[in-house]
A and B are shown apart, each in its own frame.
Chain A
Amino acid sequence: MSHDITHDEIAHDHHDHDHKPKGFVKRWLMTTNHKDIGTLYLIFAFAMFIFGGAMAMVIRLELFQPGLQFVEPDFFNQMTTMHALIMVFGAVMPAFVGLANWMIPMMIGAPDMALPRMNNWSFWILPFAFAILSSTLFMDGGAPAGGWTMYPPLVLQGGHNVAYLVFAVHLMGISSIMGAINVIATIMNMRAPNVGYLNMPLFVWTWLITAFLLIAVMPVLAGAVTMLLTDRYFDTSFFNAAGGGDPVLFQHIFWFFGHPEVYIMILPAFGVISEIIPTFARKPLFGYVSMVYATAAIAFLSFIVWAHHMFSVGMPLGAELYFMYATMMIAVPTGVKVFNWVATMWKGSMTFETPMLFSLAFVILFTIGGFSGVMMALAPVDLQYHDTYFIVAHFHYVLVTGAVFAIIAGAYYWLPKWSGHMYNERLGKIHFWWSTISVNVLFFPQHFLGLAGMPRRIPDYSTQFAEFNMWSSIGGFAFGLAQVFFIYIVWKTVRGGEKATAEVWEGAKGLEWTVPSPAPYHTFEDFGPVDLDKMAHGKTH
């Protein structure tokens, strides 16, 4: 069936028709088109972002005042657990895979992803996986409530939801691994003939390294949750000291996955920011090659620092020292990156459109999150911060004002290319200021709460924490509302608005800006050499 379509297509001139499959099922359920699949990923990720965000609203509502007002403690724990799982695996990761799907083939001059059918499957596992996970909310005993880190023995006391949790994580892992294999095969095998590795845009580079991290650690997570499953249902003793196992073993395995995982969520963000800042500074990216090496260095270090998440579990002193120093080394390549972004802007002809505003906020706010990370890397003082709101503030700075801001920046940056319409700049700026102010009201006070000793994952707290929590909740509601406003902006842009040019942004470099807006259904079908002058790092290397 599919062959006939292909042959028809070959007979045609490649550039004149869209050839979108007709009908909803064919267009969306059976698609192999990287742009359609990218769109599916982005819509799914945004739906999960709102779903997980609604849980965050429940959390902030309960924490608005001390005392128990709205939800039971167990339901509160279900909310924190599900919020994290959904945001990490359902929102941030799929959003970046969506950006990868849309942009990587267009950035390297490829007609599609290397393995288009598998690309479809990578996406279409996710809705099922999250349906399985979310279904536990409606069951006796409720959803998993032991935290997204799934530490035994607590998580094993969750009743029936353990099996749902484990198998949902397995499905997400299968999806991620297939997606990552596809990204690697695409980047290594599908570049236009004259595009070398050091011609690639930094977004492509960061995704290449991210995909490697994904393939290396998602199977480890699968192994960890499998051991949870057998400990729960088949009487194994991996995490049971009575049988010679150790609950801390789970933490080691989990964080061997978990630490690279945080870079899986931030390296593509670095890539997006490295595309946007040069465009609006109207200067080439400063230190392109050092950016590539810094990304690789961060990825390497991410494998050997995992136990800094576990300073308080009682590791031998030598291990504490090693993980402390190794962790602090990550600040070096990350510092290279921040320096390069700032140096790119130095004496640039800067303008401040919405994507640039979000990128600037990213550089500043992510750096705050990075600094609090260095604070926590100090093993002796981490004993004070551990499991307090200080860590909550830290990882929300790197994940919300880091990863999520980068995704939003990328969405504004490439939306004209995807939809063919310019978004409304005034509304975009309102969204930016609304988000940036509210997100700081939301998370900045949590630093103080944590330093004062407020533990995380609790529905009630001492009255001394009341004021900062109220501020945090107000910021949270405002930030949540701002993202609903973002839906409106995107919807309005997709439906109409000023026509976008092919180049979209003055002086933007990269192959994606050489194709019309909206990007035709098929691009770079002839797979010929591309014009390296159009690429940001084309002729310089």
Chain B
Amino acid sequence: MSEASKDQYYVPHLAKWPIVGSIGLTVTVLGAINLLNSENPGTPWVMYLGLAIIIWMMFGWFGEVVKESEERLYNTQVDTSFRMGMIWFIFSEVMFFACFFGALFYARNFSVPWLGGEGTGLATNEVLYPGYEGVWPTNGPLDLGGQFTLIDPYHLPLVNTLLLLASSVTITIAHHALRANNRKQTVIWLIATVLLGAIFIFYQAEEYVIAYQEYNLKLSSGIYGSTFFMLTGFHGMHVTLGAIMISVITVRVWRGHFRPESHFGFEAVAWYWHFVDVVWLGLFIFVYII
């Protein structure tokens, strides 16, 4: 019966998970809004409930897709649809990061120099902020958050760069092993990738602790703190998500879900991981070094 579907584009006829996902998103968002708006420390449990619903939805939804895939209901055309979906999803993520990089470039090249009196900002500087130099890095003319120290790019960030680059290599080795139908090697190299990602996240967390406790560098440290923490923070969230995705894929490899010639789930996660890696290189250069 599965062979009959080979020349047929598989169209599922009912989907119960999307509505679960919508409810999950709504509960999460309402929980977050209430948390943000409450005067006293509010309860995060509504948001957690929403996140739990979303996780449940993902298990259910992906589980259904995995099951269908294992039943060989998908032909190569369905596979192509999935690939396109992932590629364009990653493109949307690229644009999301581009937005924050754009904010960084604008602040460094335009708004900060203007506040320092460059170009048409002369009057602004002399009237509003006399004496402000407008030199990057800065927490602005009113010194928001107080003096801070910069993170040295050649300590933890450099180690993190090497970790992520190495993890890109390990996931590629895992991919080759998978294509050679060597399940054990694949699992080993995937676990190595997850570990490298986990160490990255650990160091990133340590860097944040140092920044807050010793360097007085905070999210509220003017435009430098804003761009630094938003860019590295969103990146860290993506690494975390990517590491979780690779963990799931590792279990799936272990269970024998993938074939040497057909393993879209693996490839999608690998693309995502490389994307996260490239974003980090951008961060390392434009946030830490320059």
Question: B4 touching A10 by the CB < 8 A rule?
Answer: yes
How many contacting A-B pairs (Cβ < 8 A)? 243
Among A58-66, A231-239, A391-399, A400-408, the stretch that binds chain B is A231-239
Q: Are B14 and A244 closer than 8 Å at their CB atoms?
A: no
Q: How far is the CB of B146 from chain A (nearest CB, A)?
A: 12
Residues 179-218 of A at the B interface (beta carbon under 8 Å): 180-182, 184-185, 188-190, 215-218
Q: List 28 A-B contacts (CB under 8 A).
A: A2-B12, A3-B68, A3-B71, A6-B5, A10-B5, A30-B18, A32-B11, A32-B12, A32-B14, A112-B11, A116-B15, A117-B18, A131-B26, A174-B25, A180-B88, A181-B92, A184-B88, A219-B92, A230-B219, A230-B230, A234-B219, A236-B226, A237-B225, A241-B128, A245-B223, A246-B107, A246-B111, A256-B102
B219 proximity list for chain A (CB < 8 A) = 230, 234-236
Is there an interface contact between A163 and B32, defined as CB atoms closer than 8 Å? yes
Complex interface: chain B residues within 8 A of A182 (CB): 85
Assess whether A31 is interfacial by the CB under 8 Å rule.
yes
B91 within 8 A of A: yes
In the bound complex, residues from chain B placing their C-beta under 8 Å from that of A121 are: 15, 17-18, 21-22
Q: Nearest CB to that of A222 among chain B residues?
A: B96
User: For the complex, is A384 an interface residue (Cβ under 8 Å from B)?
Assistant: no
Residue B16 lies at the interface, judged by CB distance under 8 Å to chain A: yes
Contact of A1 among B14, B89, B96 (CB under 8 A): B14
Q: Mark B78-108, 1 if CB is under 8 A from A, else 0.
A: 0011101100110111011011101100110
The 4 closest A-B pairs by CB, nearest first: A223-B99, A244-B140, A121-B18, A244-B223
Instruction: Please measure, in the bound complex, the distance between the C-alpha atom of A14 and the C-alpha atom of B225, giving whole angstroms.
Output: 61
Contact with B along A519-541 (1 / 0, CB 8 A): 00000010100000000000000
Say whether chain B's binding surface is mostly helix, strand, loop, or mixed. Answer: helix
When distances are taken between beta carbons in the complex, the residues of chain B under 8 Å from A242 are 140-142, 144, 222
For chain B, which range describes its interface: under 10, 10 to 19, 20 to 34, or 35 or more residues? Answer: 35 or more
Query: Which of the 9-residue segments B112-120, B154-162, B179-187, B247-255 touches chain A?
Result: B112-120
B8's contact among A115, A223, A527, by CB below 8 Å, is which?
A527
**A117–B13 Cα gap in the complex (Å)?**
9
Complexed CA–CA distance, A67 and B93 (Å): 48
B80 near A189 (CB under 8 angstroms)?
A: yes
Q: Is the CB of B141 within 8 A of A244?
A: yes
- Chain B nearest CB: distance from A232 CB in Å? 8
Choice from A19, A120, A224, A314 contacting B18 with Cβ under 8 Å: A120
Which of A164, A218, A525 is B33 in contact with, Cβ under 8 Å?
A164
**Nearest chain B CB to A383 CB, angstrom units:** 16
A78 nearest CB across to chain B (Å): 18
Query: Given A2-B64, A236-B230, A238-B107, 19 more contacts at CB 8 Å?
Result: A3-B73, A114-B81, A114-B85, A116-B12, A117-B18, A121-B15, A128-B23, A163-B37, A170-B29, A189-B84, A215-B91, A219-B98, A223-B99, A227-B100, A234-B220, A235-B220, A241-B140, A245-B222, A245-B223
